[in-house]
Structure 1
Amino acid sequence: MYDVVLLVEQELSEPDAKRVVALHQDMPEPVKYHVLVPCHNAEAGVEASISALGTADLYGAGLIDQRQELAEAQRAIDSEAKDCTSRSVQRLRDLDQQAEGGITHDRPIDALTATVNKVSGREVIILTRPHIVAEFFHLDWTNSARRHLGVPVLHLLEQEEQKKAKK
């Protein structure tokens, strides 16, 4: 089995699924895709924003009263991420591929490394929108993955975004 781990920023579109599968069409062994979708942590995001604004003393204590709303927001975020993962996996399966997936609340590169190790991944594909500044400074997922993993890492830009940019 040739295991490929896909780290996707958002739902895998049909054209992108076809493009990923085409990369492995001549493989002599079966390919299995493992889709990984990072999921935002609502509470951590709010706390980081308050800290960044230097207003933690004013609003930090107020977070205690809003734990229920943050928990509801997190459930909604998790639900959307799970749906995104399910649709992405189904797109690969619709192309007669073996695929599974999941979400993570960990840092994307940490989760990617753990998944590659867990499934004995032999290749990584990172599918994102263009991130010019992060890529320029080599702070993007692809450069981080190349520094942390001992497997080939391919960065693909989402086709849907490219089509929108041409309009």
Structure 2
Amino acid sequence: MTETILVLTEEALTLPDLSNLRSLQGDEPADVVVLIPEDRNESVLGEFFRHLSLLEVGEAFRSFSADDRQHDEAAARSALEESLRLLAHEGFTARGRTTTGNPVDALVHEAADTGAGQAVVITRPHAVADTFHRDWANQAQDKLGIAVLHLYSGSGFIGDS
């Protein structure tokens, strides 16, 4: 039986991300299900501090401006298409969808529907959420009865979940 690996990511997957997924699947190829939220449900204050921590002062103050929902939806669809194309090119069996609402709840529902054996959350570092263990991986670990691995996008660095 083929195992399912759930992937919750906030942006398109990269080749290093796929390398990490390949090491998780073991000898048997796994089905990969990618979930990308249309809105990341990130607090405005958390986004502000994230930009400041990266010395992106202009972006920090722009995070207080009105959110352009249509831009978020288009960006999520584009990231999903790019991720699925890259996965297929690298020989993975993959499918996915964009989600609305709470991304962790979408992951929980997908885990119940697919019987997934593991979940991977791939994000950029988020100083506030990661420090206080309120990141997606920690939230998912609290709600799921399966292993949740938190990886930082484009790297092999593991988050603390």
TM-score range with shorter-chain normalisation?
Answer: 0.7 to 0.9
Query: 1:18, 1:95 within 8 Å by CA — same for their partners in 2?
Result: no
Q: What per-residue deviation string (whole Å, max 9, x for no partner) do you get for residues 61-82 of structure 1?
A: xxxxxxxxx9xx4333212211
- Count of residues in Structure 1 that have an aligned counterpart in Structure 2: 134
* Shift, 1:145, TM fit: 0.6
TM-score w.r.t. length of structure 1: 0.71
Report the AA paired with residue 23 of structure 1. L
Task: State whether residues 15 and 154 of structure 2, in contact with CA within 8 Å, keep that contact through their aligned partners in structure 1.
Answer: no
Higher share of residues assigned helix: 1
Q: Which amino acid aligns with 1:22?
A: S
User: Could you say which residue in structure 2 is the equivalent of 1:95?
Assistant: 90
The DSSP-based 3-state class of the residue aligned with 1:114 is helix
In the alignment, structure 1 segments of 5+ residues that lack a partner are 50-69, 163-167
State the match for 1:139 in structure 2. 134
Residue equivalent to 2:5: 4
Among the aligned pairs, what percent are the same residue? 29
Deviating more after overlay: 121-130 vs 132-141: 132-141
Q: Is the 8 A contact 1:11 1:88 kept in 2?
A: yes
TM superposition outliers: structure 1 runs of 4+ over 3 Å: 73-76
Task: Tell me how far apart the structure 2 counterparts of residues 40 and 144 of structure 1 sit (CA, whole Å).
Answer: 17
1:91 positional shift = 1.1
Aligned residue type for 1:98:
T
Match of 2:75 among 72, 80, 84: 80
- Equivalent position of 2:15 in the other structure: 14
Q: Deviations over 1:2-58 (max 9, x none)?
A: 01100001110122112212221423xx310000001128xx99xx97xxxxxxxxx
Equivalent in the alignment of 1:36: 35
Within 1, Cα distance between the matches of 2:26 and 2:87? 13
RMSD (CA atoms): 2.5
TM superposition score normalised by structure 2: 0.74
Structure 1 residue 146: Cα displacement: 0.6
Contact 2:140-2:148 at 8 Å conserved across structures:
yes
State the distance in 2 between where 1:4 and 1:15 align.
16
